[in-house]
Homo-oligomer: A and B are copies of this chain.
Amino acid sequence: MRDVAIIGIGQIPVGEHWESSLRMLAADAATAALKDAGVKSVDALYVGNAYGGTFSSQMHLGALLADYVGMNNIEAYTLEAADASGAAALRAGYLAVASGAVERVMVLGVEKATDRLGPARVEARNASLDADYEAAHGATITALAALLMRRYMHEYGLDLSAFEGFSINAHANGAKNEYAMFRNLIKPGRFAQAPMIADPVSLFDSAPDADGAAAIILTSADRAADMVPQPVQIAASAAATDTLALQDREDLLYLKAAHLSTDKAYAQAGIRPQDVNLFELHDAYTILSALTLEATSFAERGQGWQLAKDNQIGLTNKLPISTFGGLKARGNPAGASGIYQAVEACLQLRGMAGVNQVPNARIALIQNLGGLGSTAITHVLRVN
């Protein structure tokens, strides 16, 4: 099995791109990644996309985008695991290069959410829930996140303020990221006044749907060393699943897939949680941030929120998270979010994160979730 490294990264600003189509967004990110890697083409393109078929009536993105970005005829197809589609594509790319069968892979995450608005978008997104046992009964992912959050508050005797640190941190970092959708700060006291979306999930607890595209280019670590000055090693890649329907979980407040995939990743990379310099986690909801920190061994059960409360998650603190704003402030272009995480982690590890730089970043953990932890795909990125 060959070691794999990232030799190029590219991203476009996350937001509402009313004047661009899905393929245009994808091409801009792909072009940026090719330029960054100093190459003109790749041998395979793995697309991370969740909702192209429903948001944009456009599937079969492998063939479409390979051609549109000027790499007609290469191997190409799409990976889908709801909002973890980006990381699924990254894992497929990692395995392809690791196997030795493919030399150079582009992993391209893209989503065009603004092709559908209002109820049509909610309905499309609901296909990532259990269609028969959740969506059919009127549940949405935000409503289900609200059940999780309410249960967490009940079990541990918390009020809404337990979660505000996550959003304040995300917006503080997003405000300095030119690719972020939301660049405003959340002022002290404003979190409590945010309008409710699905009680207790407020506007400030949840990440926005968005348009976006991000790309990375992988090759074997041996070749990478000769190609670019700062290749980033993929030290671990692991995936796990949990039940799709929340009601089927033995323990609602335990993200088992996140735990399993992280444990595998720690073992593969040969690291412990305390070795991690920064963590790009899947903060689609503040409750997911709290539960994720517990599932990944950074906090005891019921204590994940405390890391935010104690101000341990900022860029210069014990465990920097969402260092470019996370899904919350950078925005959540579903199938692209996992690749944005990888791009951001690479910027940190290369020391190119500018005012968002985490000092001495050498090891980054990135984790992309599908649904409320039904899929969890975890990677460890590292520089020497």
- List the interface of chain A (C-beta within 8 A of B): 1, 21, 23, 44, 50-54, 56-64, 66-67, 72-82, 84-85, 88, 92, 95-96, 98-102, 123-124, 126-132, 135, 237-244, 248, 256-257, 260, 370-371, 374-375
Distance from A283 Cβ to chain B, minimum over Cβ atoms (Å) = 19
A-B contact pairs, 27 of them (CB 8 A): A53-B53, A53-B54, A53-B127, A57-B127, A57-B131, A57-B135, A58-B132, A60-B80, A60-B81, A60-B129, A60-B244, A60-B370, A62-B88, A63-B371, A66-B241, A67-B241, A67-B242, A67-B244, A72-B242, A73-B240, A73-B256, A73-B260, A75-B238, A77-B81, A77-B375, A92-B92, A98-B101
Q: Which of B78, B81, B237, B241 contacts A73 (CB 8 A)?
A: B241
A60 contacts B248, CB within 8 Å? no
Provide the bound-state CA to CA distance between A234 and B374, in Å: 31
Which residues on the B side are within 8 Å of A59 (C-beta)? Answer: 50, 80, 82, 127-128
Distance from A311 Cβ to chain B, minimum over Cβ atoms (Å) = 34
Which residues on the B side are within 8 Å of A99 (C-beta)? Answer: 1, 95-96, 98-100
Minimal Cβ-Cβ distance residue in B for A23: B132
Q: Which of B63, B81, B239 contacts A241 (CB 8 A)?
A: B63
Provide the bound-state CA to CA distance between A52 and B78, in Å: 14
Q: Which of B57, B66, B237 contacts A101 (CB 8 A)?
A: B237
A63 contacts B131, CB within 8 Å? no
Which 9 pairs across A and B sit closest by C-beta, in order of nearness?
A99-B99, A75-B239, A77-B81, A63-B374, A58-B131, A63-B241, A77-B88, A60-B82, A98-B99
B243 contacts A63, CB within 8 Å? yes
Which residues on the B side are within 8 Å of A74 (C-beta)? Answer: 240-241
Which residues on the B side are within 8 Å of A62 (C-beta)? Answer: 80-81, 88, 241, 370, 375
Distance from A375 Cβ to chain B, minimum over Cβ atoms (Å) = 5
Distance from A152 Cβ to chain B, minimum over Cβ atoms (Å) = 21
Task: Tell me which of A57, A75, A96, A243 has the highest count of chain B C-beta atoms within 10 A of its own C-beta.
Answer: A75
Which residues on the B side are within 8 Å of A44 (C-beta)? Answer: 239
Distance from A250 Cβ to chain B, minimum over Cβ atoms (Å) = 10
Which residues on the B side are within 8 Å of A242 (C-beta)? Answer: 63, 67, 72-73
A58 contacts B239, CB within 8 Å? no
A132 contacts B78, CB within 8 Å? no
B244 contacts A63, CB within 8 Å? yes
Minimal Cβ-Cβ distance residue in B for A88: B77
